[in-house]
Structure 1
């Protein structure tokens, strides 16, 4: 599929989402303002895990669950917070623990934690909602009620169609604009998918892998559309047949992720776009086998 065709499909998605929300709110007319793009978020590089310390709460070299609070300093608190987030299986828009709990886990004061959170929020790593908590990712363009509404009027097939319209183009742009930190994140996510000891952990890292591809595109508008699509996707209940407690060693997505990752690293735009198409076709075959047929 050509880039122009992808962009045409993307624009149709934009119009459809905007139309659904205007219909919900009773607004009409071309005078309504379009949704402004939110800043794209990328995950920072983190220190390598120490040998023999693969547990999530040891990502920065000590057991956070038993940490003793003491003055850490702004830079130290930020380092500890980054390490903690890197060791958790947190997906886009997942809620973080309350401040008091994080202070105990990280061994920092509340003031130090808030300063560190402010840095991550400025980077687009987290966003905060007064009265609701702190969440992973950049602040969504849509509020939670809008996301729930779109989820209520969207079918699984429509979600997959929207992914096909957006994600191959994101993969192509990732191969074009991706940098070293993007490669680091893609390789980390790809490795963690293979190492997952449960389907839940695998799905969390799989979600983060696709998020890393989108972030590498460096296109804030497409990134915003991807985040909105991902938020709506998470509101649906997907009936997936799982065999065993964790993905098998030859799980088909592993090789598909490898092909996509390597194409992006080589800056091969055509191969990256095609690899994402092939991956999404495989996903659709597994999720909706009765509705497949031809290229998605």
Structure 2
């Protein structure tokens, strides 16, 4: 869980980045400078910048494309958060997980076909950060990034947008009632091995194995959290 200082730092970084975008008069479709340039111009750490970019992406202010950069979103790119929230209150957690299973399995398949070396490396890095998480909040953040990195690896902007909308519905569904019996994921947490299989299939360029591994992973998570598949 973020402490007050970390929360303030993240909020400050987001505000700084938003002010920079406004001052430079960036318009929809404009590309932001590279991370290294932004770090120098904004005077923040790489970690703070990436967290701020993640926040703006979730808000629909920007969108990112692997290998091409970060762009200002237009009105047509932004998600109607109100409608997604309504769906989140109407769908059951199990049906939400079934939707994830159907969509993310196909996304994993496409990632196995299209992932660049850089995209595979990112998936592996996030996978390891999830394994090393010191608490459940950190794990869930890295788990979210793992699945997003797989969507990015498809190099298909429509699939990335579809995943992003699905993920927003997932966040709106009340899964916070899940009771955690440990401070952090245990060493034998089943998702670790499942993530390994998904990552290996994508790296091996095996579309069927990637599809099946993701299908089984979402099924396993649903069964563990809700007792249903």
Same fold (TM over 0.5): yes
The corresponding residue for 2:41 is 77
Larger Rg: 1
Q: 8 Å contact 1:141–1:228 — kept in the other structure? A: no
Q: What is the match of residue 222 of structure 2? A: 284
**Deviations 1:205-239 (Å, cap 9, x if unpaired)?**
00000000111112222222111110011012213
Out of 189, 194, 198, the position equivalent to 1:251 is 189
Give the structure 1 partner of residue 16 of structure 2.
none
Is 1:264 the counterpart of 2:202? The answer is yes
Kept in 1, the 8 Å contact 2:129–2:142? The answer is: yes
Q: Does 1:147 align with 2:84?
A: yes
Q: How does 1:20-59 map to 2 (within 5 A)?
A: none
Q: Name the CA distance, whole Å, in 1 between partners of 2:219 and 2:157.
A: 26
In structure 2, C-alpha distance between the alignment counterparts of 1:183 and 1:93, rounded to whole Å: 21
User: What secondary structure, in the 3-state scheme, does the structure 1 residue paired with 2:172 have?
Assistant: coil
Are residues 1:240 and 2:204 paired? no
Q: Pairwise mapping of residues 54-65 of structure 1 onto structure 2 (< 5 A)?
A: none
Pairwise CA RMSD: 3.4
Instruction: Show the 5 A alignment for 1:89-128.
Output: 123-124=69-70
- From 188, 203, 220, give the equivalent of 2:125: 188
TM-score by length of 1: 0.56
1:224-272 Cα offsets, whole Å, 9 max, x none, are 2111110011012213231211111111100100110111011111111
Change (3 A) 1:74 1:147: closer
* C-alpha distance in structure 2 between counterparts of 1:176 and 1:228, whole Å: 23
8 Å CA contact 1:93, 1:231 repeated in 2? no
Match of 1:229 in 2: 166
Structure with bigger helix share is 2
Separation of aligned partners in 2, 1:247 and 1:192? 12
Residue 134 (structure 2) aligns with: 197
Q: TM-score, normalised by structure 2?
A: 0.71
Q: Which moved more, 1:203-212 or 1:278-287?
A: 278-287
Query: How has the CA–CA distance of structure 1 residues 160 and 76 changed in structure 2, closer, same or farther, with 3 Å as cutoff?
Result: same
Distance 1:266 1:79, change over 3 A: farther
Q: Secondary structure at the match of 1:234?
A: helix
Q: CA deviation at 1:83?
A: 3.8
- Distance in 2 between the 1:166 and 1:119 partners? 20
Unaligned 5+ residue runs, structure 1?
Answer: 1-55, 57-63, 65-71, 96-116, 130-138
Q: Structure 1 residue 168: deviation in Å?
A: 0.6
